[in-house]
Structure 1
Amino acid sequence: MHMADALVSPAVAGAAAAVSVTLLAVSARKIKRGDSENIVPLMGVMGAFVFAAQMINFTIPGTGSSGHIVGGILLGAILGPWAAFLTLASVIVVQCLIFADGGLMALGCNLLNMGVCSTLIAYPLVYRPIAGASTKSWRIAAAAITASVVGLELGALLVTAETELSGVTALPTGQFLTLMSSIHLLIGLGEGLATAAVLYFVKQYQPSLLTDYRNGTGGKTGSYRKAALIFLSIAAVLGVAFTWIASSYPDGLEWSIANIAGENGLGASASAVAHTIGHVQEATSFLPDYGSTWSGIIGCIIVVALVWIVCTLATRRARSVKSN
């Protein structure tokens, strides 16, 4: 669902960026109020896991399309909403700047469509009420599937709205929304099942992960070393194996556009501002389109580093303000 710059106008991109930056600032403040020494390492590990998992596109049978997990519901269930948003935002930023996955001008839109819709809307308003305080597997599975579908459907709606408000393409709104919502319903079901499977594993081997940070302001002191090593190991395997197991079909957004505008897409519709910002992205993305066998490993390392840097700076600033 990573939007390209060709879909959005500077005005829409700027408004989305302003909202996203504001929510990121709130997230950083929420983290520094909590037990950052415990949650930050967990954020880095889970960010690396989600980054690697997003690289594995799964085929949607009978459609000629593919999808990948967003990971917001999984992160929310383990980290709480605000830490989850900050972690997922780190993943999306790394994808954009290092791998040219999603436009740089459209970065704010992508943070809203994937990050906010899943971690700050679908998780607290759908997952948490369904899962409740229960650790029953069926409730966790029902919550994961329902929230994943809702999060992706909201994201599909926002993509359509942002494209329509931008007015830089000739995509018919009704047809675009129909294609986006239908394909992301299927992708959401796939993500929901995958999320439920991971949460079932967590429930069996480290159930405290599903309760300690649910309020988003820290949790009980505990050792998550074993769980962290497992998630890092899986991330490493996925990071290396993605070139062999990922689907070659276009993702849901690309598929929807191709069904309307043809295989050539909308490159010619990008604004002059988008082209200028695109040159900046070309300079930062030294591994465009994940063009290396080691892209997954490199991306995981950068995500962990970015989460640590952002949270460390936020924590230090909080201590400085408090001491003054």
Structure 2
Amino acid sequence: METLAMHIANGIIDGPVAAVFAAFALAVLAFCVLRARSDLDDRLAPMAGLVAAFIFAVQMLNFPIFTGAVSGHLLGGALAAILVGPWVGALCVAVVLIVQALVFGDGGVAMLGLNVTNMAIFGTAAAYLLVALLLRVLPRTPAVLAGVAFVASVVSVVVASQGFVLQYWLGGTTDLGNGLGGLAATLAGSHLLIGVGEGLITATTVVTVAKVRPDLVYALRGRRLTRPVSVPAVGGVR
């Protein structure tokens, strides 16, 4: 039985489709570089380095799921998006993927555009869009921030896994069994579990940083967390 992982190996997707996504990834990353120039400052630049190092470490851990038929790993896109923003966050994840492919052989070099698209672009974008929407309408309490980070992480990982399904539908060269629907369901289910683990890590990390240095959390834009309002009991006794 084939072993699937978030990092796509050479030969899984045909050359023309891989080339199209490589061009797409390159264009998006170039746009991210332009937008990131206005975000990077003395506070964000060191944080970006720390985020990239953390993502590199957690992505080296692979988890077998469903009796070893599927494996996956933490992505870090949601963490990057919340702490350093979508533009710098996407670049952090992309740099990690490039180093892993070129130095450690994790993911095919010819498939690099596919992997960057799924994990650095799709995953990070999905996470930040959800975070931006929820924090616009919800109070910025520690519990809410933790919940938002958790949900964004789960959604980010699942979206990234479905990016592979799209690419396989366009140019898959290897029979992975169970058909396209079965593949989508298998990857969604396995990465939902991985997303839960990533969500717990992301929520804990983000809330810890936000309590100490809210100015370092891009999603908060320097605004401190608010405490839940305590309602006094009858008679004025809390």
**TM-score normalised to structure 1 length:** 0.61
Q: Is 1:116–2:116 an aligned residue pair?
A: no
Q: 1:122-161 residue pairs with structure 2 within 5 A? A: 122-123=127-128, 125-132=129-136, 134-161=139-166
The aligned amino acid for 1:208 is D
SS in 2 for 1:6: coil
Gapped runs of 5+ residues in structure 2? 1-5, 223-238
Q: Which residue of 2 aligns with 1:86?
A: 91
- Percent pairwise identity: 36
Gapped runs of 5+ residues in structure 1? 221-324
The aligned amino acid for 1:106 is M
Q: Distance in 2 between matches of 1:36 and 1:203?
A: 18
Q: Distance in 2 between matches of 1:136 and 1:115?
A: 28
**Contact (CA 8 Å) 2:131, 2:219: kept in 1 or not?**
no
Larger relative contact order (Cα-Cα within 8 Å, sequence gap ≥ 6) = 1
SS in 2 for 1:3: coil
Q: Is 1:193–2:197 an aligned residue pair?
A: no
The aligned amino acid for 1:189 is V
Q: Is 1:173–2:177 an aligned residue pair?
A: no
* CA shift digits 1:159-198 (9 cap, x unpaired): 1121121131223212211211111111111111111111
Q: Distance in 2 between matches of 1:159 and 1:167?
A: 10
Q: Which residue of 1 aligns with 2:190?
A: 183
Q: 1:169 to 1:63 in 2, by over 3 A?
A: closer
Q: 1:239-254 residue pairs with structure 2 within 5 A? A: none
Q: Is 1:28–2:33 an aligned residue pair?
A: yes
**Contact (CA 8 Å) 1:80, 1:214: kept in 2 or not?**
yes
The aligned amino acid for 1:29 is L
Q: Distance in 1 between matches of 2:184 and 2:8?
A: 14
Q: Is 1:207–2:214 an aligned residue pair?
A: yes
- The Cα of 1:208 is off from its aligned counterpart by 1.9
- The Cα of 1:35 is off from its aligned counterpart by 4.0
- The Cα of 1:204 is off from its aligned counterpart by 2.6
Name whichever of 87-96 and 199-208 sits farther off: 199-208
**CA RMSD after TM alignment:** 2.2
Q: Is 1:53–2:58 an aligned residue pair?
A: yes
**Contact (CA 8 Å) 2:118, 2:164: kept in 1 or not?**
yes
Q: Distance in 1 between matches of 2:9 and 2:139?
A: 40
Q: Is 1:2–2:25 an aligned residue pair?
A: no
Greater share of residues in helix? 1
Q: Which residue of 2 aligns with 1:13?
A: 18
SS in 1 for 2:109: coil
**TM-score normalised to structure 2 length:** 0.81
* CA shift digits 1:280-315 (9 cap, x unpaired): xxxxxxxxxxxxxxxxxxxxxxxxxxxxxxxxxxxx
- The Cα of 1:36 is off from its aligned counterpart by 3.8
Q: Is 1:41–2:55 an aligned residue pair?
A: no
Q: Distance in 2 between matches of 1:106 and 1:58?
A: 21
Q: 1:35 to 1:158 in 2, by over 3 A?
A: closer
- The Cα of 1:207 is off from its aligned counterpart by 2.2
SS in 1 for 2:95: helix
- The Cα of 1:109 is off from its aligned counterpart by 0.6
**Contact (CA 8 Å) 2:79, 2:153: kept in 1 or not?**
no
* CA shift digits 1:33-83 (9 cap, x unpaired): 3344442222112111111122234566x7556543211111111111001
Q: Distance in 1 between matches of 2:174 and 2:27?
A: 28
Q: Distance in 2 between matches of 1:38 and 1:204?
A: 16
